[in-house]
Amino acid sequence: MQKRKLGKSNLEVSALGLGCMGMTFSYAPFPEKKDSIALLRAAVERGVTFFDTAEVYGPFNNEELVGEALEPFRGKVVIATKFGFDINPDGTHGGKGLDSSPARIRQVADASLKRLRVDAIDLFYQHRVDLNVPIEEVAGAVKDLIAEGKVKHFGMSEAGAKTIRRAHAVQPVTALQSEYSLWYRTPEEEIIPTLEELGIGFVPFSPLGKGFLTGKMDENTTFEKSDIRNIIPRFTPEARMANQTLVDLLGKIGAEKNATPAQIALAWLLAQKPWIVPIPGTTKLHRLEENIGAAAIELSAGDLHEIEGALTKIKVEGARYPEALEKTTGR
């Protein structure tokens, strides 16, 4: 698989990464641990070198899974993890919700290093901006960890442009991870121009619209009780029916390219900027191989123009998150 560099940092990763959250969190039912380990190792064999996890996924068991699976490939893969939530050592939530205090950041780093079985965290994201801690203090704490050799690169997630600038002035930000896809394009307004100016890479999560852009679901699809999509406005049956037009467009272009809707959605993201690295998540080998195949699809200027023209006629229905969750993003 082709490689890409995240901004000016020279952190080189595969053009597509693998989001590991769904292996233990948000999208039940979860696979057997041995099957997830096999999938993670299969991803490495197929050229994926960029893996995304977080302490809060579980909590903790996602990092443990990734650490065990990727231990044989230490030094050959890049593992990103995240801090920023108030979690007790037993995995219960401490009550504050967010916590990016310097002491907590250091505590998370030390615990994540052990769970991931690495000597240094390749990319350490602030999971969500904590308004109770000045971002300069957060960036400073990560800067200290970088100086100590415990962390290699600083990242942010779902942060607003002004906050990114303030953090970047203290410790250069290597990558921003935020939602971006054909059905959520808000980052194009302010975030992507800011990242381009500052030389920061962009790691889109949910690049397939939490599965909707694969074309494998419709208004009649049902989810497990614990599946996060049950509370997302964009996934009501009415919204899914309305949003089917977008999937139909991807299917039409895919038919011309001998590609699936998911592959066209990922190829579109890759065509936006050379420093964009999507991290689609999956628990199935055939989906992993389908996603990887997107990296080989070339969308011409004409293809992109056709997609853009068609998108102007499509209005995506439904909010991407419930209101309470949306308030923690874009700060």
Catalytic residues: 57
What is residue 108's three-state secondary structure? helix
| Contact present, 70 and 63 (Cβ < 8 Å) | no
- Residue 270 C-beta-side C-alpha neighbours within 13 Å: 26
Which element (helix H / strand E) includes 310?
Answer: helix 301-311
| Contact present, 91 and 85 (Cβ < 8 Å) | no
- Residue 53 C-beta-side C-alpha neighbours within 13 Å: 26
Q: Between vectors from CA 47 to CA 41 and to CA 48, what angle results, nearest 5°?
A: 65
Neighbours of 149 (CB within 10 A): 9
Token pair 């689609």: residue: 280
What is the 3-class SS of 126-180, one letter each residue?
A: ECCCCCCCCHHHHHHHHHHHHHCCCEEEEEEECCCHHHHHHHHHHCCEEEEEEEC
Amino acid identity, residue 275? W
Amino acid identity, residue 171? Q
Closest CA to 105 of 61, 145, 64, 165: 145
Helices 301-311 & 237-257 angle (0-180, nearest 10): 160
